[in-house]
Amino acid sequence: MKYFNCTSRKLAATLSLMACLGAALSTPLAYAGADKGKAQSSMQQSAKVSINNADAESLAEALSGVGIKKAEAIVAWRKSHGKFTSIDQLAQVKGIGEATIDKNRNKLTL
pLDDT digits (tens, 9 = 90+) for 3-51: 555 566 776 666 665 665 565 555 554 444 444 444 444 444 568 999 9
* pLDDT value for 30: 46
pLDDT digits (tens, 9 = 90+) for 65-106: 999 999 999 999 999 999 999 999 999 999 999 999 999 999
| 60, pLDDT greater than 60 | yes
DSSP 85: S
* pLDDT value for 42: 43
